Amino acid sequence: MRLTLVGTGYVGLVAAVCFAKLGHEVIAVDREPVIRGLKENKLTVWEPQLEPELADVYANGLLRFETDIVQASSDTDALMIAVGTPTRSDGHTDLGHIHEVLSHLMQAGTCPPLVIIKSTVPVGTCDELEATLLAAGLHTEVAFNPEFLRQGSAFNDFMEPDRIVFGCQTPQAESLLRQLYEGIEAPVHVCDRRSAELIKYASNAFLAMKISFANMMSDVCEGYGADIRHVMSGVGADQRIGPEFLSAGVGYGGSCFSKDLQSLLTTGKLIGSPLPILESVAKVNNQRIPRMIAKLISLWGNPSGKRLCVLGISFKPNTNDVRDAPFLTLLAQCERHGIEVQAFDPVVRQVGAKSVQLMDSPYAAAAQADAVMIMTEWPQFAELDWPYLLHLMRRPYVLDGRNLLPSPIISQIVDIDGAIYMPVGRPMERSPIPWAGVSSPE
Known catalytic residues?
A: 256
34 in contact with ligand NAD (CB under 6 A): yes
| Burial (0-12, 13-18, 19+ Cβ within 10 Å), 90 | exposed
Site residues (CB under 6 A) for ligand NAD, limited to 12-31: 12, 29-31
Should residue 348 be labelled a site residue for ligand NAD when binding is judged by CB under 6 A? no
Report, in Å, the least distance between residue 236 CB and ligand NAD: 23
Q: Minimum Å distance from CB 281 to ligand NAD? A: 17
85 is an interface residue for ligand NAD by CB under 6 A = yes
Residue 15 annotated as binding site: no
Work out how close the CB of 440 gets to ligand NAD at its nearest, in angstroms, rounded to a whole number. 41
Residue 320 and residue 48 in contact, taking contact as beta carbons nearer than 8 Å: no
CB of 276 to ligand NAD, least distance (A): 24
Task: Tell me if 285 contacts ligand NAD by CB under 6 A.
Answer: no
- Edge-first strand order for the sheet with 371-374 is 356-358, 340-344, 307-311, 371-374, 397-400, 420-422, 429-430
Is residue 358 within 8 Å of residue 332, measured between CB atoms?
no
- Asked if 145 interacts with ligand NAD (CB under 6 A), we say no
- 280 closest CA partner among 211, 232, 376: 211
**Single residue of 3, 4, 8, 143 touching ligand NAD by CB under 6 A:** 8
Closest CB 84 distance from ligand NAD, rounded Å: 4
The residue range among 144-152, 159-167, 296-304, 419-427 that interacts with ligand NAD, by the rule CB under 6 A, is 144-152
Count of positions on this chain that bind ligand NAD (CB under 6 A): 25
214 binds ligand NAD (CB under 6 A): no
Residue, CB closest to ligand NAD: 9
Sheet holding 25-29, edge to edge: 63-66, 25-29, 2-6, 78-81, 114-117, 141-144, 164-167, 188-191
Q: Are 151 and 319 in contact (CB under 8 A)?
A: yes
101 forms part of the interface with ligand NAD (CB under 6 A): yes
> Binding site for substrate: what residues are annotated?
200, 245-249, 253, 316, 417
- What does the binding site for ligand NAD look like in residue numbers (CB under 6 A)? 6-12, 29-31, 34, 82-85, 97, 100-101, 119-120, 147, 149, 151, 255-256
